[in-house]
Structure 1
Amino acid sequence: MFSSFMVNTWIVASLVAVVAGVVGFFVVIRGASFAAHTLPLGAFPGAAAASLVGVDPLVGLIVFASIGVIGVSWLGRQGRREVATALSLVMLLGLGALFLSMTTEYSQAVYSLLFGEVLGVSSADIVPVAVISIVVVALISLNFRPLLLSSLSSDLATARGVACGRMELCFLAILALATAMALPVVGALLVFSLMIGPASAARLLSDRPVPAILLSVCLSVVTVWTAIALSGISDWPVGFFVGGLGAAWYGFGRLWTRMRTRQRSHTVAVVRN
């Protein structure tokens, strides 16, 4: 588990966890969990298209994630956001089915993109993942205040001069990059678990944005590291532990909130008496 060939796994998984923790916070406060689920599922057929034309699968993932961003953004202006997200997912999955039907050499790669293949990370994967991680964190840092304000209250953001439409497009682009880099590690079906579970727990445990983001990152890193360790011990899929731990973090956050509410109610009752 800690041998030399696992070094790449620990490095890439840690980078993915950090990005998922940061982006996941905004996914939670914006109520964009459906988009966080849709973009990875809509992006993974891009790897099939990349395979057909002979380019790096990561390029296909980013291109299809970008198409998903454009579809969600454009259709969202015409009606409800969840309907636009669903229509974009249907369109991308339809294209994915077409591309997959054109090749017979993609079954194992499809499985790894759906469920993750963190143990198959090579040295060549580190640089693009690291670059995308830096870009995502930099974009969030540069747009932190307007992105946070538009996430909490679009009316207040507009009154402060923030272009909410531009921030929505910026957020979707950041989410697309984050999901594209995370797909080979945790898979399309569970990347949103890594984003939403730790971030939801952090949001419940802290009311302040920056501490909540830092806590989300810590929980996400612990989730990935624990999942890899348990996978090495049990020989079960990493994705199973990522999904289970993500749900466990959220359950812990809900329990903590309930206990804190009861304690406050008890304190108020004692003071009144």
Structure 2
Amino acid sequence: MVNTWIVASIVAATAGLVGFFVVVRGSSFAAHALPLSTFPGAAAAAWLGINEIAGLVVFAGFGVIGIDALSRRGRPEVATALTLVVLLGLGTLFLSQTTEYSQEVYALLFGQVLGISAADIGPIAGVSAIAALAILALFRPLLLGSVSRELAQARGAAPGRIDLAFLIILAMASAVALPVVGALLVFSLMVGPASAARNLTDRPGWSMALSVALSLITVWAAIALSYLTNWPVGFFVGGFGALAYALGRSGVRFGAVRPLSP
């Protein structure tokens, strides 16, 4: 349980930071696709008997390379979909080579937060720290590129490089979150709290801080309720993410708060 709380807190804080830009930049599809794209890495690691985090990071890199390369020749959403299809196909192949097929699928897709070992804390903390520091270091160019690509280019920032940098950060955050909440729920953790935060304040700094706070509350409450009810952690993560977004939208609708202006 101690390992669970430590790793879940690290993953949630990173998801809150990255999720702010996922929402502001309209990158929800990429935030959904990249975790699924990293899942073959965990399957390959299980098949080869190597560290799972290494496999996740490597395939996260493949996802970034595929999306970035194909986006230069077509629409970004099409490039994301094509990359996702190819890597999911590889994941199916790797999983078919394992001896515990159903158990591996469940753990990769829905997470195994109570199965985190002490040896997993270091790699997850290291990759999360790199992603968080990169977000903070690139805060201004990322925000400027989200508001206006033309303005960012006029200020000397290269929109293509900013997009690539953000994809790399998103891939790292997805890779470390996948063993904890699973490929299908990384999206909920990144988008739900960040969307609620964006609707509750129009100040970027406060919105990012609130996104982190809501992500932490989500995973803490999910773990506690899972322990008490014996229901899956993922159910509570998804439910609280949707609830946070609904409350944020309700506040905007009734004029209690103002949404963040692009």
Give your verdict on TM over 0.5: yes
Following superposition, the deviation at residue 85 of structure 1 comes to 0.5
Match of 1:12 among 7, 17, 36: 7
| Separation in 2, partners of 1:10, 1:102 | 32
Shift of 1:146: 0.8
Q: SS where residue 190 of structure 1 aligns?
A: helix
Rounded Cα–Cα distance in structure 2 between residues aligned with 1:51 and 1:65: 16
Shift of 1:106: 4.1
Structure 1 residue 19: Cα displacement = 0.2
Larger radius of gyration: 1
Q: Indicate yes or no: 2:142 matched with 1:173.
A: no
Please name the residue that 2:241 is paired with: 246
Match of 1:210 among 190, 205, 212: 205
Question: Are the equivalent residues in 1 in contact too, given 2:95–2:104 (CA < 8 A)?
Answer: no
Partner of 1:189: 184
Within 5 Å, give how 1:216-231 maps onto structure 2.
216-231=211-226
State the partner residue of 1:143.
Answer: 138
Amino acid in the other structure paired with 1:205: L
Alignment of 1:21-170 (within 5 A): 21-170=16-165
SS of aligned partner of 2:50? coil
Amino acid at match of 1:19: T
CA contact (8 A) 2:197 2:211 kept: yes
Q: Percent identity at matched positions? A: 65
Q: Which amino acid aligns with 2:78?
A: V
Per-residue CA distance 1:31-69 (angstroms, 9 max, x = gap): 111000001111111111122333111111111111011
In structure 1, give the amino acid aligned to 2:182.
Answer: G
For residues 73-102 of structure 1, the C-alpha deviation after alignment (integer angstroms, 9 at most, x for no partner) is 111111111111000000101111111222
Cα RMSD, aligned residues only:
1.3
Runs (4+) of structure 1 exceeding 4 A deviation are: none
Contact 2:20–2:207 (8 Å) recurs in 1 = yes
Uncovered stretches (5+) of structure 1, i.e. residues with no partner: 1-5, 265-273
Partners of 1:255 and 1:23 lie apart in 2 by 24
> Contact 2:47–2:95 at 8 Å: present in 1 too?
no
CA distance in 2, matches of 1:28, 1:165: 18
User: Partners of 1:160 and 1:138 in 2: how far apart?
Assistant: 22
TM-score between the two structures when normalised by the length of structure 2: 0.96
Deviation, 1:11, is 0.6
| Unmatched 5+ stretches in structure 2 | none
| Cα shift at 1:195 | 0.4
Work out the CA distance in 1 between the residues paired with 2:167 and 2:197.
21
